[in-house]
Amino acid sequence: WRVALRRAQLGGRILAHMLMQGAHGDRPVMLIGFSIGARLIFHCLLELNRCGARGLVESAVLLGTPVSANEARWTQARAAVAGRLVNAFSTNDWVLGVVFR
């Protein structure tokens, strides 16, 4: 699990740099991810914000994201998105509850 979490973090940074290089052309970017994929997107947004590349992502939907509820980090991720950032989760998700106590 820890390896998957770390790879999602690194993958997010790579995705952010690909977006900054214009790999998507002039098309709007909407990112949707579930579980580890949502974590990858979260780290992509953090990296975009860190690099000052705000607004490249039009909207993002994160489902069951295995990241902490750190308000400062979520604020940084939100700043990278031009439109909506949706974080959907269930308080009954026992996997996230066990992994992120």
Q: Which tens digit of pLDDT belongs to each residue from 53-65? A: 988 999 999 998 8
CA angle 15, 54, 59 (to 5 degrees): 70
59 contacts 85 by C-beta, under 8 angstroms? yes
84: three-class secondary structure by DSSP: coil
Of 94 and 37, the one with more pLDDT: 37
The DSSP result for 40-94, as a single string, is HHHHHHHHHHHTT-TTSEEEEEEES--S---HHHHHHHHHTBSS-EEEE--TT-H
Of 29 and 90, the one with more pLDDT: 29
Q: Which tens digit of pLDDT belongs to each residue from 8-33? A: 999 999 999 999 999 888 888 999 99
Mean of the per-residue pLDDT values of the chain: 90
pLDDT band per the 50, 70, 90 thresholds, residue 97:
low
Q: What's the first-to-final CA gap in the chain, in angstroms?
A: 15
Q: Distance from CA of residue 79 to its chain's centroid?
A: 12
% of the chain at pLDDT higher than 70: 93
The pTM (predicted TM-score) of the whole model is: 0.89
- Phi/psi zone of residue 59: left (φ > 0), alpha (ψ -120 to 50 degrees), beta? beta
